[in-house]
Amino acid sequence: MFDLRNKTSIITGAGSGIGKAIAILFAKQQSEVHIIDVDDNAQQVVDEINGAGGQSYFEKCDVSNQADVRSTVASIAARMRIDILVNNAGVAHVGTVETTSEPDFDRLFSVNVKGMYNFMHEVVPLMKVSGGVVLNLASVAASVGIPDRFAYSMTKAAVIGMTLSVAKDYLQYNIRCNCISPARVHTPFVDGYLQKNFPGQEREMFDKLSKTQPIGRMGKPEEVANLALFLCSDEAAFITGCDYLIDGGFVRLNN
């Protein structure tokens, strides 16, 4: 089960965190993985995968730049069929509608929304030939009000809307499109956020944030990767147009 043998995957933002976990797991399941990231450090993920017997490649690309995305996708497609696209690249922001500047708003929209559009715009036409799977990373911030996350919540709600639209428009081409909405997941971003905003109080604030989720802890990148694997595998062939919460009960059980 969950075998991705003979399937090629593109995973954006796979240089760290959730994207890295997805790339490692997909490679373990025999997919050829193309790691998309703007940071050269993503090469370390490629080295880790290939060193363990997997097959992966680093494609440096700015997801917000359509010309860059078009060139990257064309280069991959010239060599093999693209079966899976995981739109994971994203940036975060803390602020209300009053404290969010126009440059910050534009930056989040360019990466979190336009970045996903750019890759779907280039990959979906290729998938029309033989089908494929698109998986987008949304967030619980799209479904509930989270303090000081105005722009971030806006972009993640847009992700769900794009997911439903693509799922509907490409049913006849055997293209499935779903999204995942994680709650807080312990990634390097969380550690950096705590170090920057709560120096000396990192452990206390980490525990506080963890307890906002009914299950009592943050998620692990590998747990999100497990769900991503299921949704991108043939075992999920009957699933499209869905947003999957992976949130430790955050949305439904917080009273």
- Cα atoms in the 13 Å half-sphere on the side-chain side of 105: 9
- Here the tokens at position 80 are 């093999």
Which single residue is written with the structure tokens 């997919």?
Answer: 31
152 classed as catalytic: yes
Q: Using CA atoms, how far apart are residues 59 and 14, in angstroms rounded to an integer?
A: 10
Q: What is the C-alpha separation between 240 and 72, in angstroms, rounded?
A: 26
Neighbours of 141 (CB within 10 A): 20
Among residues 52, 68, 148, the alpha carbon closest in space to that of 114 is found at 68
Cβ contacts of residue 158 below 8 Å, gap of 6+?
Answer: 112, 113
Determine which one of 57, 117, 152, 193 is catalytic. Answer: 152
Displacement of CA 134 from its chain's centroid (Å): 11
Catalytic residues: 152
